Structure 1
């Protein structure tokens, strides 16, 4: 620190043990001196010549030297001159037998503190030495105090000039009389342009009244200090890159008072000190205030979408309910859940999923009224508060507007996404009197939409409570069923029209519920997908399919293949290829014996990860079929791009076949299959006429009740060895 210096060095030993040096060429005289000056706590050394004296002085420090002027060789004056140059804080008393005044003057001129003649003044020597030591001690203490004061002043100046805060002094009128250089870098003013100016020049106009109150120290001498938060206006000299209009600061102000009270105070009053000015520190807290505002915002808002979070939404809802009760109004609550959002997250990654949530939140804001509140509850769940409703049905148009907005695709990066949502609506006071009741009932209404096919909105009804309770019970039962293995595998045969025999089967899962009996996939698969339990079911299906197929192959039916359905959530799993091929390896089956069926809508977004997984499955030899083909829009480019082996015509098209077998849709699908060299399988064949028409159209394989209902393996096994007998259905 260049502004600071060390305290004076080479001072005498100090107030401890006085250090004396006796220098005289007469040993007897030195002995007399020692005898006279020796006392407890005093250290005395001797030197018999000027040379010896210099050597001793160079080796250690002394408080006082008694020095003979007339030394042989190096004289006493020579030693005195050396001390003046090298040991200026060492005291010297000259001792001489010369009586001339000239000798004394010469010694004092060279820095001696006293002059003693020998032998005349020896009787007074102890007293003279004691006085000189006292004088030296006082000089030393004064020098140390002066040095400390100078050091303190330099330190204070350094701290003020180098302070990261603004340090200021005002006179009694509030004008600047001092301000440190920090004012320029922090606020953009030169020191010179503020000196003599009133402090309100740099105070934000909205804070001037507060500043005047804080600085009004002349009202009383009891309020010696204050702290206040003020906005200060920035000047024109701010450094580049700091384009600020004002700073938020904390300003400390301490009053300065004249200690001498005014003369003759009024009778009966206490004398007041006279106010002469203020001083204090200004600290920039702009970043801290921004951080506090950010923390406060984050505590009540969703960080991804900047929407109010669950906590703030509940606060708004509870306030709206209080106002609605007072005014006799209605309040609506919407619970919105994006359909199949987990599939987007798992397939395309969380970054793109987050972008979809942000885009959806922005659209939601544009669908509601100015006084409504849109919030994110978490994940893909959003809520909307609709205060001041005239009647309960007023919420439906807003829900329809939200659903209509979702019909427009989302452009995320270079991809287009289409999303749907399930919307549940509850209203106060019909559907609940508290925030918790309204949120719960809107959630129940939303789940009713989910279980009814998604992509819609519904108002809550009391009948939904029973359905919600049943759904929760079924969810718990499903978890128990997975743990206890309550599932069964049924198999529906697939017949080759060219070979006239069963060439494959499709495994269809059944749930043997201990109370409800045998449940079909439509009664629990959607629930398994919503709750994430579909992956455990998938593992069970793949293991059972490969195990049963291995048994049939061992019986000689090595041409037989097995088809299993794969849901979008299953295909989104990063390890799906390993999970499909692992049971094939365990049961030593050729990969081509397994066919996975995926729905057409899984191809609509042409996700690179889906292509990559299907390519890996095909490389392993696993077959891929598109189930329910033709029920949704899909570009022919998908059929070319995706590694697909077969198309399955949806049973709705088979059901619509006329007596003459004329079906433009099926004819088109047949043409597509032939064009892409894909195998064609028709589902839902129930009549001989349908079978004959499909054979005429060129369909490769068929399955349906005409050929056999789904059945346990024990029922299907005998039928594998005999050709199907038409029109009698196989199985029963």
Structure 2
């Protein structure tokens, strides 16, 4: 093979060097030496050049300025457009198609003018008929006379790269096509908040074309607060993941005010740094209207527009939870209109309905703004009175309410005198359970009716015995751990579709030596009030983590153990540290654990709670809302807090009321929109399981699959639980 750095071969027989042009061994480098020395240096330079050529995987051409092939060096002759013998002496016009030949000649002219050419990619058809792409670099050969100037062409096969670029271009085109056809609004911003791209849906929202949007910021396009815009962008960047919020905007295309659910995620560059934000927005105006309608249907009485039984109990439970920390009473009044049936029977049901509406307004006028007047059923009303300091205050309110019934009701053009009877119970003296508190107030109301109607009565019971029993339980509970009386039971959580067990809920049980099984409802409130819940919670968490590590040891189907955390546990500043230490101690992975909290916790110390939940979520622990639908929190908390799972309360599952079924479907729909999974609690019948399966519920737990079991029995359960 001949060196490209030598314009002609060396005639070794005559020891004559002909027209040497070699950057490695130039004439100047060998001048002044003897003739044998010069030949030796030329030979060394020649061998060095040959070695370089042999190492180059590319094709090297020498051609004149007309594109004529003068010499060819290659280790892969199959990549040539023709054989070497066929190419030598021919021009690119003879070998290549006109367009490719013109491109090759342009590169030669460029090298002739500047010494070297820019990179040119040329398509060349191979000898077997297949096209390939080559990257050409052309350089003017040094040392030649101007009249016989030649050029060196380095040709590199870049076919694979071109094919990859073609595939990427096609994928990019398809992606952009899909992007422009989806109804959701999609956009991308840089770190300064300037738009980089958007789709047609976003163009319609803004009322501008993409070319008018690119480079602009929200401050240029929307009437919005500067700090809010910046904060929304920073949240997505700080979170390192998806941030979801809702925002009302004016649709420039229609002029209507719409509610957008906006999801933003940071864009991570090749070096791991955030380079911008990707946003997707969906118009949820109709969904929001449906949510509000469902909320009204689910929680308000259609006749009086008062809160119904569900909302009353929700607020009652929340008020009772708040009363623990403020050491105040929570009063419950049950009211029943005396002889209401007689009004219905004599004047008709429409008149009876009007009486209920007027009575509702009088009840509302007699209470404070923070109190809740609810219609439970028929002529049965209930009033929730939180933040009561003394029982006498309840008596004063009841007396004032009875006075309002001294005035006649105007019904169907007639004045009608009606009285009501009131029963009163209060938390915590009468009960720590919402259902019991209402039941006790109801019993007191019937006592008022028996005593002559038109009055009020307090519920009474033997407080001493209850207090002594409570003290005894507290004392025994303090020794329960050291006696080994506590045990964690596990209730399976299964996929509704096929009954496969994917997790479980850890439930604390107390086997007392003499009293037997003590219900959690009796000792958990005591543990909360006395602060024992911290030690109990730590013990339960450690046991549950050990079980999770054992259940996931074989590395097959992941098993996630759910553990209930109380509001008192979340008030501890060392909660995250405790969780971290126990996970390390038990070799339990964070993704095997799910923490269950109640809705009420989201209302208390919101910022501290959010920080704790985010810290736990960052570690990989899932967060679930237990008894969802029975608390007091609004649905917007689901978007604000890092919630993974909603556990539908058993009251919705066990109810035969169609509204409960529709509410379950609504919760499932909302969860899907928010990217959250759903677990139905208290599933006890095949019919309930079938309803959940048809509604698209993810998972369930309940007696239909298994009751809570001790660990020794639980680990023996099969992977699939048939029903």
Q: TM-score, normalised by structure 2?
A: 0.40
Quick check: which has more Rg, 1 or 2? 1
Scaled by the length of structure 1, the TM-score of the pair is: 0.39
